């Protein structure tokens, strides 16, 4: 059967300085938890959200929704939810509980902008690329968040992705409809600086694994 | 309780040309299904995998594993699996089946490099940021793939994420251990050019939604 014949724009590599800038954003992006208040301009926020919205999505379903939270009282309620789950995680961690409790997890009360990201209802109607892999909607939304993260780094802003919450409780607080699901609280805004390496590496929680341990040939290799 | 006091590197925005390069990669990245054979140099592949490996990950768990498939027979077996799921999806789509079958989904047999991405076993040990949100491992791996996608665009290469497969069948073919799960087949390599807009938009399958429809204030808003 004949398939759509596309038109193309030329596949040329970026100029070296442009390419380096892309890698710089990738390598200097950090999951930030320290914020210094301030503001994100409307123009910068629009650029970041457009970056998110230009992520790839399975079957082009664009399964990302952004809720901008400016009400201080709602912010405090969200912070309380996160604090509750932080305590529950610490308890579940057992012997690493104290170490965990010393790590700063989020900047919900200090960041210039707080955004919740949710998957919309009605996703079951989309089976293109998802019939056997329904979780690809989350994967697409994660790509959108990663775009935003890299764009934030280029803008000199910081972003943090907080997933320390009970999704049902957060969904209720955000009045999400049946079938919708929160996947992220994004803390965004000016920061005092970026961590030289991931904060959990700085804090000694975990180390970056060697790339070679991530890579295999042909089939899975144990060890 | 006192929290880790970090050191910082200065939070300065990128120079305008650098910032533009990051946005250019974000806006010109495409999910490619047309490839023109050729090769990816070892150096470029290493840069792409390092880009992936520098993605954020929940609790710094780095839940991405890459399997490079070079054996032609294995590639054909993978292609056959995808073709099987393509037919099953078409059947499930009903009235859009013919339209779906006219769309090119993948370039598995034509791309220079085929990589499978899998989540490793043992993920249940990681509860930092995942106690209530276990799917955050997939979200992290998706961020890694998005990094790779943007880096590929900067390198003048194309990449496509194929999720049209039965994960159990693909897992068996790749000899994934119990508890591991395949999430992507990545087609990577030189391309004849990039689609001016997402191929599913070009093909009339779906349209890009207005950004304003993705954004809400304070709580979910219907419509």
Q: What is the pLDDT of residue A206?
A: 97
Query: What is the reported pLDDT for A101?
Result: 97
Does the global pTM surpass 0.90?
yes
Interchain proximity B192–A149, CB inside 8 Å = no
Is a pLDDT exceeding 60 seen at residue B114? yes
Q: Nearest Cβ partner of A128 from B50, B100, B130?
A: B100
Pairing between β-strand A158-162 and β-strand A215-217 as defined by DSSP bridges? unpaired
pLDDT tens digits, B146-193: 999 999 999 999 999 999 999 999 999 999 999 999 999 999 999 999
Nearest to B163 among A58, A156, A175 (CB): A58
CA distances from A161 to A79, B2, B25, B121, B191 (A): 13, 22, 22, 24, 34
- Enumerate the H helices of chain B as residue ranges: 16-28, 42-53, 72-93, 97-101, 136-154, 167-173, 199-202
Q: What angle do CA A168, A174, A175 make, to 5 degrees?
A: 85
**What is the tens place of the pLDDT at every residue in B1-46?**
345 556 899 999 999 999 999 999 999 999 999 999 999 999 999 9
Given phi > 0 = left and psi -120 to 50 = alpha, else beta, which region is A6? beta
Of A11, A132, A158, the CB nearest to B11: A158
pLDDT of residue A33: 98
Q: How confident is the model at residue B222 (pLDDT cuts 50, 70, 90)?
A: confident
Euclidean distance between CA atoms A101 and A104, whole angstroms: 8
Cβ-Cβ contacts under 8 Å between A and B: the total is: 384
Nearest-CA distance A31 → chain B (Å): 7
CB contact under 8 A, B155 and A19: yes
Tell me the average pLDDT across A194-209: 96
Query: How far B9 CA lies from chain A's nearest CA (Å)?
Result: 5
CB contact under 8 A, A139 and B140: no
At residue A1, the pLDDT reads 38
Q: Distance (Å, rounded) from C-alpha A31 to C-alpha A34?
A: 9
Cα(A87)–Cα(A100) distance, integer angstroms: 10
Q: What is the mean pLDDT of residues B138-151?
A: 98
Strand partners, B162: B185
Phi, then psi, of A27 in degrees rounded to 5: -85, -25
Give the class (CATH, top level) of A30-192. Answer: alpha beta
Convert the pLDDT of each residue in B97-112 to its tens digit: 999 999 999 999 999 9
Tell me how crowded residue B26 is: count the other CB atoms within 10 A of its CB: 27
Using CB atoms, pick whichever of A17, A22, A46 lies closest to residue B17. Answer: A17
Mutate to test the interface with B, among A49, A68, A130, A220 (most CBs of B within 10 A): A220
Find, in chain A, the residue whose alpha carbon is nearest to that of B2. Answer: A102
Q: Can you tell me the mean pLDDT for A211-218?
A: 98
Q: How confident is the model at residue A7 (pLDDT cuts 50, 70, 90)?
A: confident
User: Does the pLDDT of residue B223 top 80, yes or no?
Assistant: no
What would the mean pLDDT of A119-143 be, rounded to a whole number?
97
Query: How distant is the Cα of B75 from the closest Cα of chain A, in angstroms?
Result: 10
Mean pLDDT calculated for residue range B46-75: 98
How confident is residue A97, by pLDDT bands cut at 50, 70 and 90? very high
User: What single-letter DSSP state applies at residue A101?
Assistant: H
For residues A11 and B190, give the distance between their C-alpha atoms in angstroms, rounded to a whole number: 8
Q: Do A131 and B70 touch (CB under 8 A)?
A: no
**In the predicted model, is pLDDT for residue A65 greater than 80?**
yes
| Domain spans of chain A, in order of start | 30-192
**Residue A126 pLDDT exceeds 50:** yes
- CB of A106 within 8 A of CB of A170? no
Alpha-carbon distances, residue A218 vs A110, A211, A221 (angstroms): 47, 17, 9
Interface residue of B4, B35, B209 to substitute, partner A, most A CBs within 10 Å: B4
Q: Could you say which DSSP state residue B198 is in?
A: -
**Testing the interface with A: which of B2, B5, B6, B71 to mutate, by most A Cβ within 10 A?**
B6
Contact residues on chain A for B194, CB-CB shorter than 8 A: 8-11
Handedness of CA A23, A18, A115, A136 (dihedral sign): negative
% of chain B exceeding 70 in pLDDT: 97
> Cα–Cα distance between B25 and B158 in angstroms, integer?
12
CA distance B92 to chain A (A): 8
Chain B residue whose CA is closest to A192: B11
User: Has residue A5 got a pLDDT over 80?
Assistant: no
In this structure, are residues B118 and B183 in contact, taking their beta carbons and an 8 Å threshold?
Answer: yes
Q: Among A14, A24, A26, pick the best mutation site for testing chain B contact (most B Cβ within 10 A).
A: A26
């Amino acid at each position: 059967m004949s398939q759509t014949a596309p038109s193309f724009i030329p596949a040329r590599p970026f100029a070296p300085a442009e390419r380096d800038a892309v890698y710089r954003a990738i390598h200097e992006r950090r999951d930030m938890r320290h914020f210094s208040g301030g503001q994100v301009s409307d123009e910068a926020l629009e650029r970041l959200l457009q970056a998110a919205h230009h992520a790839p999505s399975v079957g082009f379903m664009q399964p990302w929704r952004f809720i901008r939270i400016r009400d201080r009282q709602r912010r405090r309620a969200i912070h309380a939810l996160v604090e509750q789950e932080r305590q529950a995680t610490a308890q579940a961690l057992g012997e690493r509980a104290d170490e965990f409790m010393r790590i700063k997890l989020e900047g919900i009360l200090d960041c210039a902008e707080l955004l919740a990201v949710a998957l919309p209802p009605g996703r079951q109607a989309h089976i293109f690329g998802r019939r056997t892999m329904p979780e690809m909607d989350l994967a697409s939304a994660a790509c959108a968040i990663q775009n935003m993260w890299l764009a934030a780094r280029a803008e000199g802003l910081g972003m943090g992705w907080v997933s320390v919450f009970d999704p049902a409780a957060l969904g209720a607080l955000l009045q999400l409809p049946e079938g919708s699901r929160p996947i992220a609280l994004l803390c965004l805004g000016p920061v005092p600086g970026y961590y030289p390496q991931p904060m959990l590496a700085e804090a000694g929680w975990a180390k970056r694994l060697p790339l070679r341990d991530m890579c295999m040939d042909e089939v899975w290799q144990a060890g």
